[in-house]
Structure 1
Amino acid sequence: MSQGKGDGSRALHVRVKTARRRTASSTRWLQRQLNDPYVRRSKAEGYRSRAAYKLLEIDEKHKLLKPGQRIVDLGAAPGGWSQVVAAHVGSTDEDPKVVSIDYLEMDALPGVIVLQKNFLDEDAPAVLVAALGGRKADLVLSDMAAPTTGHKKTDHLRIMHLCEIAAEFARDVLAPGGAFLAKVFQGGTEGTLLADLKRDFAQVIHVKPAASRQDSAELYVLARGFRGRTDVLGTHVEDDDPDAP
């Protein structure tokens, strides 16, 4: 081991030997995890994952989270983002304002309705709407990512597919003025998706928080000021039930 330098990283740098049954790539991943300051910080501060700091940094700059908001967290496991939003919006078990979904098992969180279900299931949107109690959401988050293949174009297409489905869901459940934040990969958000978001939201930007590893192609698309669903001609499309909340 060698002594690290710098502020929050004065901890010892850990070198991991390649075990007989461990591949070189898994050894590199383990070494990166052991030496990641955000991993150490999340453990010290009680967050379920380092991803919590990505959302905290985005919120610090863009002021997304406000008390009383209702939020949907797609691809939530292990729950780092749900922890952050539940605390910021004042969600409680008596009045839950956060609904989280993931096909992976996730431990219960105070103030969060946790659904173990694949968001790609046909009935998943209806299940989420029911969990919202028929109310509109103020913010839809998606940190979903498909397992990577190592083939850049394939991985980009997979995550863009997830982002497109998440954006379609967001248009159905967001209240006027609401926001949508979703993971994408560098290489450009697909033109059709970006055009659709710009048509339905007042502002669309890309953000890359410091907590995102700099060697990662990961970044996020942030759409704010939901104006309602519009068609390709720019005509506003009314909800099926105009009296719905």
Structure 2
Amino acid sequence: MTGPRGPRQRVRTARNRTASSTRWLQRQLNDPYVRKAKAENYRSRAAYKLLELDDRFGLLKGATAIVDLGIAPGGWSQVVRRRVPKANVVGIDLLPTDPIDGVEILQMDFMDDSAPEKLKAALGGPADLVLSDMAANTVGHPQTDHLRTMGLVEAGLMFAAEILRPGGAFVAKVLAGGADNDLVADLKRQFTTVKHAKPPASRKDSSEWYVVAQGFKGGPPPA
């Protein structure tokens, strides 16, 4: 999926702005996905990442119960509601998220010990799909950033193994290089297919990839 490309816009003044913030604003103004998201009333360009992943992997086909980890600002749940409007959707984020019709939102840290049980109670049954667009705050040290992000992915996987029904799917954001070998091995033990994908909406200079695990085998997670 590609976005409309209009004439490039320039930031009119950089007064009181750092060079990095000026570059960021310049990129936003000329990003076709940002313009497309605004035109189609999505809260963020990230919505197109899920749209593209769904087009490729059929993640939302037949899904009736979905958990959105790291829901803010809500673009992914907007996609879910538009593509499967009758699905039961529960999201969680430490950041405040404006209400989305048909989505129950918990404002709390997913890493809080009580979060998994609260999500399960809110969903009221097993899930068909667990989506995680969570990302750790970066500190600028690649190894540390990678470990922190993988920690979120592993926590998301543990939760998915507890709530998914057999045949369900788990999608999580990872960094360049994808999930590490141990995590991939764990995913392959629990799912029939495990693939890495970088949707076109992910910026070329971004280090993000997504791991897509489908065909949950059911049962308790491996020890």
Question: TM-score, normalized by length of structure 1?
Answer: 0.86
Tell which deviates more after alignment, 182-191 or 120-129: 182-191
* Alignment correspondent of 2:193: 203
Matched residue, 2:108 = 117
- Equivalent residue number for residue 18 of structure 1: 14
**Secondary structure of the structure 2 residue equivalent to 1:15:** coil
Q: Does residue 145 of the first structure (1) align with residue 141 of the second (2)?
A: no
Q: Which residue of 2 aligns with 1:42?
A: 37
Q: Which whole-Å CA distance do the structure 2 matches of 1:43 and 1:59 have between them?
A: 21
**How do 1:135-174 residues align onto structure 2 when only pairs under 5 Å count?**
135-174=125-164
- Counterpart of 1:81? 76
What displacement does 1:156 show?
1.1
Larger radius of gyration: 1
CA RMSD of aligned residues (A): 1.7
In the TM superposition, residue 16 of structure 1 has moved relative to its aligned partner by 5.5
> In the alignment, residue 64 of structure 1 is paired with which amino acid?
L
The match for 2:177 is 187
Instruction: Give the 3-state SS of the residue equivalent to 1:205 in structure 2.
Output: strand
The share of aligned pairs that are identical, in percent, is 58
Q: d(CA) in 2 for partners of 1:185 and 1:147?
A: 13
Q: Deviations over 1:35-92 (max 9, x none)?
A: 111001000000011000000011111111124520000000000000011222223x
Is residue 208–residue 219 contact of structure 1 (8 Å, CA) maintained in 2?
Answer: yes
Paired with 1:222 and 1:68, the residues of 2 have a C-alpha distance of 15
Residue 34 (structure 1) shift: 1.3
Pair 147,231 (structure 1): closer, same or farther in 2 beyond 3 Å: closer
Q: Alpha-carbon deviations, 1:155-186, whole Å to 9, x = none?
A: 11111111010011000000000000000001
Using the alignment, how far apart are the partners of 2:47 and 2:222 within structure 1? Answer: 35
Task: Tell me if the contact between 1:208 and 1:218 (Cα under 8 Å) persists in the aligned partners.
Answer: yes
Q: Distance in 1 between matches of 2:129 and 2:31?
A: 29
1:106 and 2:97 matched: yes
- CA contact 1:78–1:107 (8 Å) conserved in 2: yes
Q: How many residues align?
A: 221
State the secondary structure of the residue aligned to 1:164: helix
C-alpha contact (below 8 Å) 1:16/1:30 kept by paired residues: no
What's the offset of the Cα at 1:231?
Answer: 2.7
Q: Once the 2 structures are TM-superposed, how far is the Cα of residue 197 of structure 1 from its aligned partner? A: 0.4
Aligned residues of 1:159 and 1:185 also touching (Cα < 8 A): yes
Distance apart, 1:15 and its partner CA: 3.2
Give the residue type in structure 1 aligned to 2:138: T
Structure 1 counterpart of 2:61: 66
Q: CA deviation at 1:154?
A: 1.6
Equivalent pair of 1:102/1:117 in contact (CA under 8 Å): yes
Give unpaired runs (5+ residues) of structure 1: 1-5, 233-245
- TM-score normalized by structure 2? 0.94
Shift of 1:153: 1.6
> Within the alignment, does 1:9 sit opposite 2:10 as a pair?
no
Alignment of 1:30 onto 2:20: no
Q: Secondary structure at the match of 2:26?
A: helix
Higher relative contact order structure (alpha carbons within 8 Å, sequence separation ≥ 6): 2
